[in-house]
Amino acid sequence: MNYNDQTNHSITLSGTPKRVLSLVPSQTELLYYLGTPPVGQTIFCYHPQNNFKESTKIGGTKKLQLDKIRSLKPDLIIGNKEENVKEQIEELRLEFPVWLSDIYTSKDATAMIRQIGKLVGKSKKADDLASEIEEGFRTNSKQIRGTALYLIWNNPYMAAGRNTFINSILNAHGYTNAISAEDSRYPTISLDEIKKINPDYVLLSSEPFPFKESHISALKSHFAEAKIRLVDGELYSWYGPRLLKTIESLRK
């Protein structure tokens, strides 16, 4: 059968794949949730934690070990347009069916969940999960909080812009992204630029850079008025079954 991925690339599968390989943490967690453990996963695919130690690692999301992947002989590879490197994906596509997600909103995420469920023969469980996530976002009575600058990196500071999945989760939490440029995904930003933006909140993510309490103290010396908080990056940027935990955080 033929399947189009979220980048409109078509793959052909002769049947339900038995050797699925995942290049992305959120989708690795989804495969385990669906009962289809991947034959290989990245070093960043640490959920579920009880499966991580014994899993076969195939490098990082942006530094895949292509020879290791070839040795595993996958009949389906699942990746993501943003998280994986285009040149490596193109090389893998010469040998294997590679299905890519492309996610900016919770609707994109639930569409991905349903499509991967169909690919691996677990449509019922995937549909149930997607419906639960959709209902959680639909019934969310968000509190309007103000503008927020969501920092993902330190030295230099980098922020999540509006054209990102993180932005959609910020909105669900009642924040308006302080980065106003629609086409800027992860801009580098200086302290002077942050002062000009003057956000109500500065949110320091736990990933990919692990911000700590010491970073709050450093920023408070520059932004006495802003509320500066550490946040769990998984709740803002993982788009698989971890969205159930994101919805729990919204309800709190």
pLDDT of residue 152: 97
Please give the CATH number for the structural domain made up of 146-251: 3.40.50.1980
| CA 249/CA 235 separation, integer angstroms | 8
The contacts of residue 8 (CB under 8 Å, 6+ apart) are none
Contact 164, 185 (CB under 8 A): yes
CATH code matching the domain that covers 2-137, chosen among 3.40.50.1980, 3.40.50.300, 3.90.1520.10, 2.40.30.10: 3.40.50.1980
The closest alpha carbon to 45, from 33, 62, 57, 63, belongs to: 57
Cα four-point dihedral sign 177, 182, 188, 190: negative
pLDDT of residue 187: 94
Cα angle, residue 36 at apex, residues 32 and 42 outer, rounded to 5°: 60
pLDDT of residue 140: 87
pLDDT of residue 180: 86
Q: Do domains 2-137 and 146-251 have the same CATH topology?
A: yes
The domains of the chain are located at 2-137, 146-251
Question: What letter would DSSP give residue 228?
Answer: E
pLDDT of residue 60: 97
Q: How does pLDDT run along the chain (252 residues), one tens digit per residue?
A: 999 999 999 999 999 999 999 999 999 999 999 999 999 999 999 999 999 999 999 999 999 999 999 999 999 999 999 999 999 999 999 999 999 999 999 999 999 999 999 999 999 999 999 999 999 999 987 788 899 999 999 999 999 999 999 999 999 999 999 998 766 799 999 999 999 999 999 999 999 999 999 999 989 988 888 899 999 999 999 999 999 999 998 887
pLDDT of residue 142: 77
The closest alpha carbon to 114, from 209, 240, 213, 211, belongs to: 240
Beta strands in 208-250 (DSSP E): 227-231
pLDDT of residue 223: 85
Longest dimension (CA), the chain: 60
| CA 126/CA 48 separation, integer angstroms | 17
